[in-house]
C-alpha cells in the first residue's frame, strides 16, 4: 500500500511544473549555464583587456631610458601608446579623466641611481578597479625588472647563478586526489546538500500543506490505510525528489566539466575521473540518503502544521539558511572530521564527503557519520508521524 501511495504521489508531483523545475530542470541546467556564462564572460573580459590599447603616461624619464624600454616591449603583450607628461599632477589628472590608463613615475635621480648601482623606485599609477590594468602594469614591470637585473649582473660581471647561493624547494607529498579533495572537496557536498534540501522543499509542501489546502486530506484519511503508511508513501516521494535534485545537480556539474571544456587541464580531469569510482558514488549516496530523509523529516512536520502554501514556504525558507550555512564548512581549510565534528549534522556529512574525495576517510568515521545521520533520520520520521497523527494539524 505504501508503494501505491508513493506511485500516485509521484505521478501527481511529476505533473507539477514548480516541483519539476526545482527537482530536475534547475539542478541539471544551473551549473552548465552559470559556469559556461561565467567562463565565457571572464574569457571575453580577459581577451578585450589584452586587446585594449593602453595609453601610458610617463613623468620624469629625462633621457627617455624607460620610454625606450617600454617601446621595445613586443605588441603581443598588448597594444600601447606612450605620452610624456611634464609633472605628476598633470599625469594624475589625465589618469582621472581616463585620457591615459597607466601612469609611470620615474624618479628624477634615476640615471644617477643606475650609475651608482642603487635601486631605482619606479611607480605605476592606475585604477585597479578597471579590468586588465593591474595585469598589464605587472607585465611591463616584469620586463623592466628582467632588463635591469640582466644589466646590473652584466656590469658586476656576475652570472645569475652566482647570486643564488641557496635554493629551497617544497615538495608536495599529497596525492593529486588529496589536493583536489582539499581544494574542491568542499564544493561537491555543498551542491549535494543545497539541492537535496531544495529538492525536498516543494514536494513536502505540496504533498502535505497542499493536501490540506485542496481539501483532499479528509477523504484520504478515511480510507482503510494506516496513517503511517500514508505518511511513508508521501515521504518517499519527498526523499526521492531531494535525491533526484542532488543527483541532477552533480550530473550537471559533471557535464559542465566533461563536455563544456570548462576544465581544460587534462591532469585535473584525470584526477576527477579517478575520484568518480562506483565505490565513491555509492559511499556518497550512503551519506546523502539519511541526510535527505532527515531534511524531509524536518520539513514535513512544518508542512503538516502550516495552514497554507505561503505559511509553509515562509517557515521552511529560513530553515534553508540554517542548512546551507553549515554546509559551507567544507570551504574552510583546516576543518576536518574529528571526534567533535562527527556529531554535528550536515557538517559531518560535508567533512566526510570531503575526506572521501581526498581518499582519507576512515571506515570508523564513515560508519559513525552514517549511524548518526540514520538515527537523526529516524527521529525526524518519528516527529513527522507524531505531527501527522495530530487532529489539530491535519484538519484546518
What x-and-dash track marks residues 156-195 binding another protein by CB under 8 A?
----------------------------------------
- Give the nearer residue to another protein in terms of CB position, either 225 or 255: 225
Q: Which of 11, 90, 131, 336 binds another protein (CB under 8 A)?
A: 11
Site for another protein contains 310 (CB under 8 A): no
Q: Which stretch binds another protein (CB under 8 A): 74-82, 131-139, 208-216, 290-298?
A: 208-216
Strands (E), the chain: 54-59, 80-85, 102-105, 123-126
Q: Which stretch binds another protein (CB under 8 A): 10-18, 148-156, 269-277, 335-343?
A: 10-18
- Give the nearer residue to another protein in terms of CB position, either 1 or 174: 1
- Give the nearer residue to another protein in terms of CB position, either 209 or 353: 209
Cell of 171: 615538495
Task: For the CB of residue 175, give the shortest distance to another protein in the complex, in Å.
Answer: 50
Task: For the CB of residue 204, give the shortest distance to another protein in the complex, in Å.
Answer: 17
Give the C-alpha separation, 125 to 342, whole Å: 51
- Closest of 386, 12, 9, 3 to residue 234, by C-alpha: 9
Give the C-alpha separation, 123 to 110, whole Å: 12
Task: For the CB of residue 394, give the shortest distance to another protein in the complex, in Å.
Answer: 8
Task: For the CB of residue 396, give the shortest distance to another protein in the complex, in Å.
Answer: 10
- Give the nearer residue to another protein in terms of CB position, either 43 or 386: 386
Q: Cα 7–13–19 angle (5° rounding)?
A: 150
The residues in 213-232 that bind another protein, with binding defined as CB under 8 A, are: 214-216, 218-219, 221-226
Give the C-alpha separation, 313 to 310, whole Å: 5
Longest dimension (CA), the chain: 101
HSE-CB for 22 with a 13 A CA cutoff: 21
Cα 93 to Cα 83, 96, 127, 161, 345: the distances in Å are 14, 5, 12, 44, 57
Q: Which stretch binds another protein (CB under 8 A): 12-20, 38-46, 143-151, 345-353?
A: 12-20
- Give the nearer residue to another protein in terms of CB position, either 47 or 218: 218
Residue with cell 554535528: 344
Cα 13 to Cα 19, 225, 237, 257: the distances in Å are 7, 21, 8, 31
- Give the nearer residue to another protein in terms of CB position, either 309 or 331: 309
Helix 187-204 with 309-327: angle, nearest 10 deg: 170
What x-and-dash track marks residues 31-70 binding another protein by CB under 8 A?
----------------------------------------
Give the burial class of 345: count Cβ atoms within 10 A of its Cβ; 0-12 exposed, 13-18 middle, 19 or more buried. Answer: middle
Give the burial class of 180: count Cβ atoms within 10 A of its Cβ; 0-12 exposed, 13-18 middle, 19 or more buried. Answer: buried
Task: For the CB of residue 355, give the shortest distance to another protein in the complex, in Å.
Answer: 43
Q: Which stretch binds another protein (CB under 8 A): 9-17, 36-44, 177-185, 314-322?
A: 9-17
List residues near another protein by CB under 8 A.
1, 4-5, 8, 11-12, 15-16, 214-216, 218-219, 221-226, 391-392, 395
Amino acid at each position: 500500500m505504501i508503494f501505491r501511495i508513493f506511485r500516485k504521489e509521484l505521478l501527481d508531483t511529476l505533473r507539477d511544473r514548480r516541483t519539476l523545475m526545482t527537482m530536475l530542470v534547475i539542478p541539471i541546467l544551473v551549473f552548465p549555464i552559470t559556469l559556461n556564462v561565467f567562463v565565457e564572460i571572464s574569457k571575453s573580459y580577459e581577451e578585450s583587456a589584452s586587446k585594449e590599447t593602453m595609453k601610458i603616461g610617463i613623468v620624469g624619464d629625462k633621457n627617455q631610458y624607460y620610454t625606450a624600454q617600454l617601446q621595445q616591449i613586443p605588441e603581443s603583450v598588448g597594444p600601447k601608446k606612450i605620452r610624456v607628461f611634464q609633472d605628476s599632477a598633470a599625469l594624475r589628472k589625465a589618469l582621472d579623466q581616463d585620457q591615459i590608463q597607466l601612469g609611470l613615475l620615474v624618479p628624477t635621480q634615476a640615471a644617477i641611481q643606475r650609475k651608482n648601482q642603487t635601486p631605482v623606485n619606479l611607480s605605476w599609477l592606475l585604477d585597479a578597479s578597471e579590468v586588465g590594468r593591474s595585469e598589464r602594469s605587472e607585465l611591463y614591470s616584469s620586463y623592466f625588472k628582467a632588463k635591469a637585473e640582466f644589466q646590473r649582473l652584466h656590469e658586476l660581471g656576475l652570472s645569475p647563478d652566482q647570486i643564488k647561493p641557496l635554493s629551497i624547494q617544497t615538495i608536495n607529498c599529497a596525492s593529486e586526489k588529496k589536493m583536489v579533495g582539499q581544494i574542491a572537496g568542499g564544493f561537491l557536498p555543498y551542491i549535494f546538500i543545497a539541492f537535496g534540501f531544495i529538492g525536498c522543499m516543494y514536494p513536502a509542501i505540496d504533498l502535505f500543506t497542499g493536501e490540506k489546502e485542496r481539501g483532499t486530506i479528509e477523504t484520504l484519511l478515511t480510507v482503510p490505510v494506516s496513517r503511517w503508511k500514508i505518511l511513508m508513501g508521501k515521504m518517499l516521494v519527498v526523499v526521492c525528489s531531494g535525491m533526484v535534485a542532488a543527483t541532477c545537480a552533480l550530473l550537471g556539474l559533471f557535464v559542465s566539466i566533461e563536455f563544456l571544456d570548462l576544465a581544460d587541464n587534462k591532469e585535473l580531469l584525470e584526477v576527477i575521473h579517478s575520484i568518480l569510482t562506483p565505490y565513491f558514488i555509492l559511499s556518497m549516496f550512503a551519506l546523502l540518503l539519511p541526510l535527505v530523509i532527515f531534511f524531509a523529516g524536518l520539513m514535513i512536520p512544518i508542512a503538516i502544521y502550516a495552514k497554507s502554501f505561503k505559511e509553509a514556504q515562509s517557515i521552511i525558507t529560513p530553515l534553508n539558511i540554517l542548512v546551507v550555512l553549515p554546509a559551507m564548512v567544507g570551504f574552510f581549510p583546516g576543518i576536518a572530521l574529528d571526534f567533535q565534528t562527527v556529531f554535528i549534522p550536515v557538517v559531518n556529512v560535508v567533512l566526510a564527503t570531503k575526506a572521501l574525495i581526498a581518499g582519507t576517510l576512515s571506515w570508523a568515521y564513515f560508519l559513525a557519520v552514517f549511524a548518526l545521520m540514520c538515527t537523526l533520520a529516524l527521529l525526524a520520521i518519528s516527529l513527522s508521524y507524531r505531527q501527522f497523527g495530530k487532529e489539530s494539524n491535519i484538519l484546518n
